[in-house]
Structure 1
Amino acid sequence: MADQVSPFLRTIFTDITGGMLSHQLLGKCATQEMDMMDCIEAYGFDRGPRKCYSYIEDFKECQGKTKQFMRFVALRKERDRQIACGLLDGDKKYKSPKIDSF
C-alpha cells in the first residue's frame, strides 16, 4: 500500500502527475479515498494498512465493485436454476422489476 501512496523517487513530474491517479476530481469514490488517506496519514505507512484495513477495503470495493458483481452473478445463477427447474417459463423468464421496487 505504501508504494501506491508515496513515490520512491520524488521529482517535479511526480508532483505534476500525482493528482491523475486520484479519485478526488469527479470520482464516485472520493469520500472513501479521503477517509482511507486520512487514516493512513494518521497511522503512517507501517501501521496504516493494519489499522485502516476497513477503510482500505471500502475503497477497493468502491473502485472494483466486486461484491456488487458477485451479487449479480448469484442472482443470475438463481434465475437460471429456477428456469431449469421449470418455476419460471415463458414471459416470466426475463421480466423486469417493478418501478421503485428497490
Structure 2
Amino acid sequence: MVSHQLLGRCQTQEARYMDCLEAYGLERGKVKCRNLFEDYQECHTLTKQFKRFMAMRAERKRQIADGKLKGDAKYVTPRIDSY
C-alpha cells in the first residue's frame, strides 16, 4: 500500500479522498468521491501536465515549421508569471 502522508506532495489530496471514503463507505465513496480521486490521481501521475507540455511542444514545432518562429525567437523562455 502506498501512502503520500509522509513528505509527499499529494498528501492533501489523499487525505481529502480518504476522508470522503470514510464518510460514504467504499462502494458509495467510489461514486461520490470520484472528483477527489481524479485530483489525487493527477497529483500522483501528472498525466494532464505531461499532455499539456507535449501539446505546447508540438505547437512550437508547428510554428517553427511554418516559419512563424525564426532565429532566437524559437527558444525564448516564457515570462516568469505566465505559468
TM over 0.5: yes
Q: How far does the alpha carbon of each residue in 1:29-54 deviate from its partner, in whole angstroms, 9 at most, with x for none?
A: 00000000000111111111111000
The answer to whether structure 1 residue 44 and structure 2 residue 25 are counterparts is yes
Larger Rg: 1
1:24-75 Cα shifts (integer Å, max 9, x gaps): 1001100000000000111111111111000000000000111111110110
Kindly report the root-mean-square deviation, in angstroms, between the aligned alpha carbons of the 2 structures: 1.2
Q: Distance in 2 between matches of 1:92 and 1:83?
A: 9
Displacement of 1:23 after TM fit? 0.4
Offset of residue 89 of structure 1: 1.1
Instruction: Output the amino acid matched with 2:34.
Output: Y
1:78 equivalent to 2:59? Answer: yes
Provide the rounded CA distance (Å) in 2 between the counterparts of 1:101 and 1:46. 41
Q: Which residue does 2:70 correspond to in 1?
A: 89
- Give the letter aligned to residue 11 of structure 2: A
Unpaired segments of 5 or more residues in structure 2? Answer: none
Q: With structure 1 as the length reference, what TM-score do the two structures score?
A: 0.76
Please state whether the residue corresponding to 2:25 is helix, strand or coil: helix
Q: TM-score, normalised by structure 2?
A: 0.92
The percent of aligned pairs where both chains have the same amino acid is 59
Question: Structure 1: any 5+ residue segments left out of the alignment?
Answer: 1-17
SS of corresponding position for 2:30? helix
Report what 1:64 is aligned to: 45
Q: CA deviation at 1:98?
A: 3.0
Q: Which residue of the partner structure matches residue 14 of structure 1?
A: none
